[in-house]
Amino acid sequence: GAGVSQTPSNKVTEKGKYVELRCDPISGHTALYWYRQSLGQGPEFLIYFQGTGAADDSGLPNDRFFAVRPEGSVSTLKIQRTERGDSAVYLCASSLTGLAGRRELFFGEGSRLTVL
Amino acid sequence: QQQVKQSPQSLIVQKGGISIINCAYENTAFDYFPWYQQFPGKGPALLIAIRPDVSEKKEGRFTISFNKSAKQFSLHIMDSQPGDSATYFCAASRGGGSNYKLTFGKGTLLTVNP
Residues B72-86: what's their mean pLDDT?
Answer: 98
CA of A36 to nearest chain B CA: how many angstroms apart? 11
Q: Say whether residue A33 is in contact with chain B using an 8 A CB cutoff.
A: yes
- A to B CB pairs, distance under 8 Å: 63
DSSP track, B21-33:
EEEEE--TTEEEE
Q: How confident is the model at residue A100 (pLDDT cuts 50, 70, 90)?
A: low
Maximum CA pair distance of chain B?
A: 45
Preceding peptide of B8 cis, ω within 30°: yes
Cα(first)–Cα(last) distance of chain A, in Å? 32
Cβ neighbours of residue B101 closer than 8 Å, sequence gap 6 or more: A33, A45, A48, A56, B93, B94
Task: Check pLDDT > 90 for residue B86.
Answer: yes
Residue A1: pLDDT band with limits 50, 70, 90: low
The pLDDT of residue A99: 60
Interface of A with B in 58-87 (CB under 8 A): none
Best probe of the B interface among A105, A107, A111, by most B CBs < 10 A, is A105
Q: What is the mean pLDDT of residues A83-87?
A: 97
Of A40, A45, A104, Cβ closest to residue B46: A104
Per-residue pLDDT, A97: 73
Smallest Cβ distance to A103: which of B4, B42, B100? B100
Verify whether the Cβ–Cβ distance A56 to B101 is below 8 Å. yes
pLDDT at B1: 61
Which of A36, A90, A103 to mutate: most B Cβ within 10 Å?
A103
Mean pLDDT on B64-91: 97
Check if A44 contacts B (Cβ < 8 Å): yes
% pLDDT > 90, chain A: 83
Output the average pLDDT for chain A: 93
The residue ranking higher by pLDDT, B58 or A100, is B58
Distances (CA, A) of B64 to A59, B10, B13, B31: 28, 19, 18, 14
DSSP for A86-108, written as a single string: G-EEEEEEEE----SS--PPEE-
What is the band of A101 on the pLDDT scale with cuts at 50, 70, 90?
Answer: low
Distance from CA of A33 to the nearest CA of B (A): 8
How far is B102 from A104, CA to CA, in rounded Å?
10
What distance in Å separates residue B21's CA from the closest CA in chain A? 15
What is the per-residue pLDDT for B100? 82
pLDDT digits 0-9 by tens, B18-74: 999 999 999 999 999 999 999 999 999 999 999 989 999 999 999 999 999 999 999
Whether residue B2 has pLDDT greater than 80: no
